[in-house]
Chain A
Amino acid sequence: MTLRTTTLGAIALAAIVLLAFVPRLANPYYLALAISLLQYTVLATAWGMFSGPTRYVSLATTAFFGVGAYTVAVLGEVLPWPVVLVVAASLGAILAAVVGLSTLRLSGVYFVIFTFGLAELVRQLVVWFEVNKSRVLGRYVFVNVTQSDIYWQLLILAIAVFLIGWLVARSRLGFALRIIGEDETVATHCGINTTIAKVALFTISATIMTIVGAIMAPRWTYIEPSIAFNAMISFQVLIMALLGGAHRLWGPILGAVPLVILFELLSARFPNTFTIILGCIFLLIVYLLPRGVAGLLESGKARWGETFKPRAVA
């Protein structure tokens, strides 16, 4: 292990220990903000895990998040909490694998449109099922989970996501996905089963998103499809990951933290024009920071290195 890894590991460990005490120290308002921060950090990081290397832009985040939340609404009272989480994760994984197998052959804009449509389709299916079979419009979420519990679960999930991302990046799968992102034709000619590689990572990423939805569900006491499958989640996660920089594992968090705080301030102050402001922010980010904050930091570092490199003696 190098000095750098050890230092980073120590800092991460210290941060985790500090973060674990937030529910003990913060008032309910700040705890709610901390939950939002963790929620979007995990969602954006999971989004970047797949979309960063493959450069496939997915708008399906809310489909998976919603499946997780709805699983809790339906099964929360019936099954023990850990089992509910496992069921939610499995449903998310199955949906992701099916969707992945059928769509990851699509390229570029077709994939974006499909994923957007998917979220809408899943929502309509749930509406149809609830209205025709369950004969309810919404559901009350009766689960004995406190805000602190939600926070701690999200913190554990966040740690798991960074560990998984770190391991994947170092694995053959991660290398395969970087090659696919560069040139899919070369990837297949290098012996990579590109479909399996993409579906595998899409499934990992979507399963994490589903678990976030499940963990978050008890925050609402009443849930209906338009809440659980809110398209805004997909867009916000996309913007956060792009702002931070999806080509790095630690990139999306750099977008999630400032934007969650900004959205929090904006939605409180300008509730009616919030979506317009959101759209403008989105355009600005894509225009000014195509490689995100992570890209900015990297080029800053490169320039720094360039300036202070000892000159070769001729």
Chain B
Amino acid sequence: MSGPQHILDVEKLRRAFGGLVAVNDLSFSVASGEVLGLLGPNGSGKTTALNLMSGLLRSDAGAIRLNGHDISGLPAFKIARLGLTRTFQLVRVLDGMDCRDNIRAGIVFNKPQVRAAGIESDITALLDRVGLAGQGNRPAADLTYIDRKRLELARALAAGPQLLLLDEWLAGLNPSELTIGIDLIRSLKDDGITVVLVEHVMAAVRALCDRCVVMSSGRKIAEGATSDVLSNPVVVEAYLGGVAAHA
């Protein structure tokens, strides 16, 4: 059922690559203001699901509703303007531009109403927020791995999203960076941004996710409150030998 409290409803979503069905009959909803974990072993279809939601890929069947409006089939730029933005599993920043321009890219096309002076202060605030204060004029190409991740997040936030999709944004961070990253994502929730979090780092899933959806071979195999899902035998089975073993 779709209700006004759901920001996103995914219904019977399907996408195949040749004979491989990467997302198969996937249905779930995201409540406004929650952090939803989207889990599953490698190759289970999480990134493909995000690509369908953000408009990077087209679905073969099914519906995706953002605030009740069907967005499946819309081009990515329209979906972004409707308030759904994302980061990518393989970080994508604009290497030929400095950090400020990277963030500016997220603002100017989504929020044409913002005035020039407002944009500059917004950019500075976003740099501060993700921990890149003072780095604004550095070329993105010179940034370290974690700073590239920060910059990409800042760009996704710049559009002022209602719904943010994070694809393994915490992967590859060291323990202290992880703590900072978890706090950062939690602060997004406090700002009222709904988050769909694809994540293999179980500590982060436990710390952040209100609920989780678990995929395996393109299908949803479990859904519910985080602690219930993570102790669900079906989920443990799917992850055996995978990430859960050292979580």
User: Which residues does A use to contact B, with CB under 8 Å?
Assistant: 172, 175-176, 178-179, 181-183, 185-194
Contact = CB atoms under 8 A, between A and B. Distances in A.
B80 A188 contact: yes
A175 B77 contact: no
Nearest to B80: A191
B96 A189 contact: no
A172 B109 CA distance: 8
The range of chain B's interface size is 20 to 34
Nearest to A182: B94
A179 B94 contact: yes
B106 interface: yes
A192 B94 contact: no
A189 B159 CA distance: 10
B80 A189 contact: yes
A169 to B, nearest CB: 13
Contact of A178 (B55, B92, B97): B97
Contact of A186 (B75, B94, B108): B94
B29 to A, nearest CB: 23
Interface in B45-85: 54-56, 75-77, 80-81, 85
A172 B108 CA distance: 8
Contacts of A182: 94-97
Interface of B: 54-56, 75-77, 80-81, 85-86, 88, 92-97, 101, 104-106, 108-110, 155, 159
Contact of A189 (B76, B101, B104): B76
Contact of B105 (A186, A193, A194): A186
B81 A183 contact: no
Nearest to B55: A188
A192 B110 CA distance: 8
Contacts of A187: 77, 105
A187 B94 CA distance: 10
A141 to B, nearest CB: 45
Contact of B54 (A178, A183, A189, A192): A189
B108 A175 contact: yes
Which 10 A-B residue pairs are closest in the complex by CB-CB distance? A191-B109, A188-B76, A191-B110, A191-B80, A182-B94, A191-B81, A188-B77, A190-B105, A192-B109, A186-B92
Contacts of B56: 185, 188-189
A172 B111 CA distance: 12
A144 to B, nearest CB: 48
Contacts of A188: 55-56, 75-77, 80
Nearest to B108: A172
B89 to A, nearest CB: 12
Contacts, number: 62
Residue with the greatest number of chain B CB neighbours at <10 A, chosen from A172, A193, A194: A193
A175 B76 contact: no
19 contacts: A172-B108, A175-B101, A175-B104, A175-B108, A178-B97, A179-B105, A182-B95, A183-B92, A185-B76, A185-B88, A186-B155, A187-B105, A188-B75, A190-B105, A190-B109, A191-B110, A192-B77, A192-B109, A193-B75
Contacts of A176: 109
A18 to B, nearest CB: 36
A190 B110 CA distance: 7
A190 B159 contact: yes
Contacts of A183: 92, 94
B202 to A, nearest CB: 28
A189 B86 contact: yes
A190 to B, nearest CB: 5
A194 B77 CA distance: 8
Residue with the greatest number of chain B CB neighbours at <10 A, chosen from A181, A183, A191, A194: A191
Contacts of B159: 190-191
A78 to B, nearest CB: 44
Contacts of A191: 77, 80-81, 109-110, 159
Contacts of B101: 175
Contacts of B108: 172, 175
Contacts of B88: 185
A81 B241 CA distance: 78
A183 B81 CA distance: 18
Contacts of A193: 75, 77
A187 B159 CA distance: 12
A302 B198 CA distance: 42
Residue with the greatest number of chain B CB neighbours at <10 A, chosen from A172, A176, A183, A189: A189
Given A178-B96, A183-B92, 15 more contacts: A172-B108, A175-B101, A175-B108, A182-B94, A182-B96, A185-B88, A186-B94, A187-B105, A188-B75, A189-B85, A190-B80, A191-B77, A191-B109, A192-B77, A193-B77
A232 to B, nearest CB: 32
Contacts of B94: 179, 182-183, 186
Nearest to A183: B92
Nearest to A193: B77
Contacts of A192: 77, 109
